[in-house]
């Protein structure tokens, strides 16, 4: 059979389109095979039941004023400097090809416009005073890492939790990772701000046993003022997710950060409680009130960010109990509070009713 000139052009165009589609598919597979993670927290006891490993993914669509994990916001690795470890050898300055580093009377300056996050200064620093926040992980490496503690998960009714940042910002990888965990008998939880599309939740939730969903403020204008986004989509997702979980025999916990002057307001707690009872049909297994803490001040300093809440005092025990009473009065089942509190006598932050870790769940 002889092909005409037109047939040949059509064939060539078809092959070009096919090639393009294959490239796109390959890119998608490659993109899903790695994720940017800034912390893997072993023996975590606050992000779901039992002993867990919590995997913290970088990137978050919210910008909460009280964010306790400032290193989680951007979807790029970020260089941090530990003043107390630095011996002032200036090896990093000689190493940096981008001329992004310099010293002044306050210590090391990082020009974040020039820094390409290559990590060479981290490698060369003799005293581990430099660290890169965020590393690209392959799925098989991450699974190998978390599987080491499988016996603890099994014995304690624990598992793994994907958190952040916001894990739904890297949905392909997270779905594949959760699926692999489930296929290997590891229980899974996702800690989410609720600000993602239904398409993403539909992709992830089949491989999730428990959803930890944040409801931070019931007033949408205030939610936008404090977090950067309104809350309508989050509340709508909360209803959809609770119905999905209920219909599939899975569990849900609601979490609310209790932040002085922002969310620690009686009307807010009442409003969230009424939403849980009336709109979520009191389905969530528990409601966690997480007290404000300021352990993250040094993280902000290391990232050269001025944190507006750095001088805010912790909540008192009486205040947390007051908010717990309000939560109970709404009829929500199983409200709890946890986190750091302030001692009345000294105004120092000395008490805690649960162990805390460096990467925080108040976000
Ligand atoms: S290489 Fe490390 S120890 Fe030396 S000046 Fe730089 S940060 Fe400090
Ligand atoms: S990470 Fe690379 S570009 Fe950034 S300061 Fe270090 S050596 Fe320079």
- Average pLDDT taken over every residue of the chain: 89
In a domain, 264, yes or no: yes
Q: Which residue has the higher pLDDT, 342 or 151?
A: 151
Query: Any idea which of 108-117, 230-239, 298-307, 351-360 has the lowest mean pLDDT?
Result: 351-360
Distance 20 CA to ligand 2 centre (A): 35
Split at pLDDT 50, 70, 90, the class of 342 is confident
Per-residue confidence at 362, pLDDT binned at 50, 70, 90?
low
Residue nearest atom 8 in ligand 2 by C-alpha distance: 96
Confidence of residue 360 (pLDDT cuts 50, 70, 90): low
How many angstroms does the Cα of residue 146 sit away from the middle of ligand 2?
30
For ligand 2, atom 7, which residue shows the shortest CA distance? 96
341 and 256 within one domain: yes
Does residue 100 fall inside a structural domain?
Answer: yes
Predicted confidence (pLDDT) at residue 170 exceeds the cutoff of 60: yes
Looking at the fold, whether 241 and 111 belong to one and the same domain comes out as no
130 Rama class: left (phi>0) / alpha (psi -120 to 50) / beta: beta
Residue 188 has pLDDT above 60, yes or no: yes
What is the pLDDT, as a whole number, of residue 304?
Answer: 85
Residue 98 sits in a domain of what CATH number? 3.30.70.20
Q: What percent of the chain has pLDDT over 90?
A: 81
In a domain, 7, yes or no: no
- Considering the domain architecture, whether residues 147 and 66 belong to the same structural domain is answered as yes
Q: Are residues 39 and 87 in the same domain?
A: no
230 and 338 co-located in one domain: yes
Percent of the chain topping pLDDT 70: 86
CATH of the domain at 68: 3.20.20.70
Q: Whose CA is nearest to atom 8 of ligand 1?
A: 86
Q: Residues 330-335: what's their mean pLDDT?
A: 96
C-beta separation of 64 from 227 below 8 A: yes
Residue 334 in contact with residue 285, Cβ under 8 Å? yes
pLDDT over 80 (residue 345): no
pLDDT of residue 343: 74
Specify whether 123 is located in the same domain as 143: no
Residue 16: inside a domain: no
Q: How many domains does the chain have?
A: 2
Question: What pLDDT shows up at residue 33?
Answer: 84
**Ligand 1 atom nearest to 93, measured from its CA:** 6
Read off the pLDDT band of 27 (50, 70, 90). very low
Taking the CA of residue 130 as reference, the ligand 1 atom at the shortest distance is: 7
Domain membership of residue 333 (yes or no) is yes
- When pLDDT is averaged across residues 40-48 and rounded to a whole number, the result is 95
H runs (alpha helix) in the chain: 5-32, 91-95, 120-124, 139-147, 150-156, 171-183, 198-204, 220-227, 232-247, 266-278, 297-302, 317-329
Distance separating alpha carbons of residues 328 and 287, to the nearest angstrom? 10
Q: Which pLDDT score is estimated for 270?
A: 98
Ligand 2 site-directed mutation target among 98, 103, 134, most atoms within 8 Å of CB: 98
* Domain with 120 in it: 81-130
Who lines ligand 2 at CB under 6 A? 79, 95-96, 98, 100-101, 115-121
Q: What is the pLDDT of residue 26?
A: 39
Give distance in angstroms: CA of 113 to centre of ligand 1: 20
Q: What residues line ligand 1, using a CB cutoff of 6 Å?
A: 86-92, 108, 125, 127, 129-130
* Residue 21 covered by a domain: no
Do 100 and 157 lie in a common domain?
Answer: no
Residue 257 in contact with residue 263, Cβ under 8 Å?
Answer: yes
Of residues 1 and 67, more confidently modeled: 67
In this predicted structure, the answer to whether residue 20 has a pLDDT above a threshold of 50 is no
188 inside domain: yes
Q: Which of the two residues, 6 and 300, has the higher pLDDT score?
A: 300
Domain match, 116 and 157 both: no
Question: Does residue 308 lie within any of the structural domains?
Answer: yes
Residues 243 and 256 in one domain: yes
């Amino acid at each position: 059979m002889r092909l005409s000139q037109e047939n040949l052009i059509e064939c060539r165009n078809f092959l070009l389109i096919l090639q393009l589609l294959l490239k796109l598919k390959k890119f998608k597979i490659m993109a899903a095979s790695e994720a940017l993670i800034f912390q893997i927290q072993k023996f975590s006891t606050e992000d779901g039941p039992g002993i867990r490993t919590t995997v913290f993914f970088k990137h978050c669509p919210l910008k909460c004023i009280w964010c306790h994990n400032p290193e989680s916001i951007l979807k790029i690795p970020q260089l941090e400097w530990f003043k107390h470890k630095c011996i002032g050898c200036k090896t990093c300055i000689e190493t940096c090809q981008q001329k992004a580093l310099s010293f002044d009377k306050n210590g090391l300056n990082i020009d974040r416009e020039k820094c390409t996050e290559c990590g060479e200064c981290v490698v060369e620093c003799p005293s581990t005073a430099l660290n890169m926040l965020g590393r690209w992980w392959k799925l098989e490496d991450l699974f190998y890492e978390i599987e080491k503690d499988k016996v603890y998960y099994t014995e304690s009714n624990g598992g793994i939790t994907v958190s952040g940042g916001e894990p739904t910002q890297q949905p392909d990888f997270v779905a594949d990772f959760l699926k692999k965990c489930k296929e290997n008998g590891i229980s899974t939880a996702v800690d989410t701000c609720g600000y993602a599309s239904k398409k993403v939740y539909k992709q992830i939730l089949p491989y999730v046993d428990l959803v930890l969903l944040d409801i931070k403020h019931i007033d949408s204008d205030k939610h936008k003022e404090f977090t950067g986004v309104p809350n309508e989509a989050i509340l709508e997702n909360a209803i959809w997710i609770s119905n999905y979980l209920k219909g599939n025999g899975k569990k849900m916990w609601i979490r609310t950060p209790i932040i002085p002057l922002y969310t620690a307001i009686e009307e807010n707690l009442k409003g969230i409680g009424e939403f849980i009872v009336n709109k979520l049909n009191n389905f969530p297994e528990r409601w966690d009130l997480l007290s404000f803490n300021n352990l993250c001040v040094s993280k902000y300093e290391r990232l050269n960010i001025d944190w507006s809440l750095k001088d805010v005092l912790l909540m008192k025990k009486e205040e947390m109990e007051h908010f717990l009473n309000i939560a109970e009065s709404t009829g929500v089942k199983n409200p709890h509070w946890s986190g750091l509190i302030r001692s009345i006598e000294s105004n120092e932050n000395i008490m805690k009713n649960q162990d805390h870790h460096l990467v925080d769940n108040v976000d």
